[in-house]
């Protein structure tokens, strides 16, 4: 794998920053993209000092669809790897009662990420190389009462990544779908997560690097999630409707 720049979209999240560290450790220049990117100055300096790599900051709003192409054009260099770590969990109970809030959750988890990766896919295809990484969720594998708004958007994103991977299969561009399961981050700090099913952000970053280096297609950060979701997918619907998981 060449030591080209890595673009991290949604760079403020714990998973995004952990992924940046994993790539920077290998010598990759890092492009950190997020809203109010100037607030990532400390993270930029830490990466530069720790790994002696170039790090640049870029303003990026995933829902500003009209300016996504301009955002890519303004990058100092087209990245070799782009990681979309954008995501908003939302609040299922309140979002059920506020359809506009629900729409924002769906747009932030599907529409915006799919749009920016579609644009990057076209640029990568023209060049004939590159890797696109989309961080989706096991929540998208079956709609559940406790998180179906977030889960439905992630289901769409997972399907998008699958189709994009199929389309680009013979172009030199690879697409990786990442299904982290529970991760111990600021976004989940108010949730009671089971230890055996919960990954640390550093584990996610390391898993993403391995997946891009080994040309993996779909990865579960903790392999046990493959079994868990297989069981959940095959619960008969009459029984499933009586459950709240």
Condensed to tens digits (0 to 9), the pLDDT of residues 25-78 reads: 999 999 999 999 999 999 999 999 999 999 999 999 999 999 999 999 999 999
pLDDT, tens digit, 9 for 90 and up, residues 191-239: 667 778 898 999 999 999 999 999 999 999 999 999 999 999 999 999 9
Q: Which domain holds residue 140?
A: 6-240
pLDDT at 189: 67
Would you name the residues annotated as active-site residues? Answer: 150
pLDDT at 48: 98
Residue 179 lies in a domain: yes
Which own/partner pairs from 164-169 qualify as long-range (CB within 8 Å, at least 24 positions apart)?
164/117, 164/118, 164/121, 164/132, 165/217, 167/121, 168/121, 168/124, 168/125
DSSP conformation class of 138: G
Residue 1 lies in a domain: no
Residue 68 lies in a domain: yes
pLDDT category at 181 given cuts 50, 70, 90 is: confident
* 101: its two tokens: 């809030």
Q: Identify the burial level of 204 via C-beta atoms within 10 angstroms of its C-beta, where 0-12 means exposed, 13-18 middle and 19 or more buried.
A: buried
pLDDT, tens digit, 9 for 90 and up, residues 98-133: 999 999 999 999 999 999 999 999 999 999 999 999
Residue 64 lies in a domain: yes
pLDDT at 2: 59
- Of 19-23, 87-91, 168-172, the poorest mean pLDDT is in 87-91
- Residues of the chain above pLDDT 70, percent: 98
Neighbours of 90 (CB within 10 A): 20
pLDDT at 125: 98
Residue 230 lies in a domain: yes
The residue assigned the tokens 């990442």 is 178
Residue 245 lies in a domain: no
Predicted model pTM: 0.93
Residue 47 lies in a domain: yes
Choice between 141 and 188, residue whose per-residue pLDDT is larger: 141
Q: What is the mean pLDDT of the chain?
A: 94
Choice between 230 and 190, residue whose per-residue pLDDT is larger: 230
Q: Tell me how many domains the chain contains.
A: 1
What angle do helix axes 112-127 and 148-167 make, rounded to 10 degrees?
A: 10
Residue 3, pLDDT > 80, answer yes
Residue 126 lies in a domain: yes
CATH of the domain at 209: 3.40.50.720
């Amino acid at each position: 794998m060449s030591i080209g720049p890595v673009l991290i979209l949604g760079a403020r999240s714990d998973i995004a920053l952990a992924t940046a560290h994993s790539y920077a450790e290998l010598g990759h220049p890092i492009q950190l993209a997020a809203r109010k990117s100037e607030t990532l100055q400390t993270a930029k300096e830490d990466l530069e000092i720790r790994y002696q790599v170039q790090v640049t900051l870029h303003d990026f709003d995933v829902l500003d669809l009209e300016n996504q192409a301009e955002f890519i054009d303004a990058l100092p260099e087209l990245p070799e790897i782009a990681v979309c770590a954008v995501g908003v969990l939302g609040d299922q109970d309140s979002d059920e009662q506020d359809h506009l809030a629900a729409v924002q959750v769906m747009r932030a988890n599907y529409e915006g990420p799919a749009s920016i990766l579609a644009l990057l896919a076209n640029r990568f295809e023209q060049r004939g190389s590159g890797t696109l990484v989309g961080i989706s969720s096991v929540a998208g594998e079956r709609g559940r009462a406790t998180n179906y708004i977030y889960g439905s958007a992630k289901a769409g994103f997972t399907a998008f990544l699958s189709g994009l991977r199929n389309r680009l299969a013979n172009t030199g561009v690879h697409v990786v779908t990442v299904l982290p399961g529970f991760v111990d981050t600021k976004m989940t700090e108010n949730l009671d997560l089971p230890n055996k099913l919960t990954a640390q952000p550093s584990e996610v970053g390391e898993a993403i690097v391995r997946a891009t280096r080994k040309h993996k297609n779909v990865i579960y950060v903790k392999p046990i999630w493959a079994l868990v979701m297989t069981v959940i997918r095959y619960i008969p619907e009459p029984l499933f409707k009586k459950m709240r998981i």
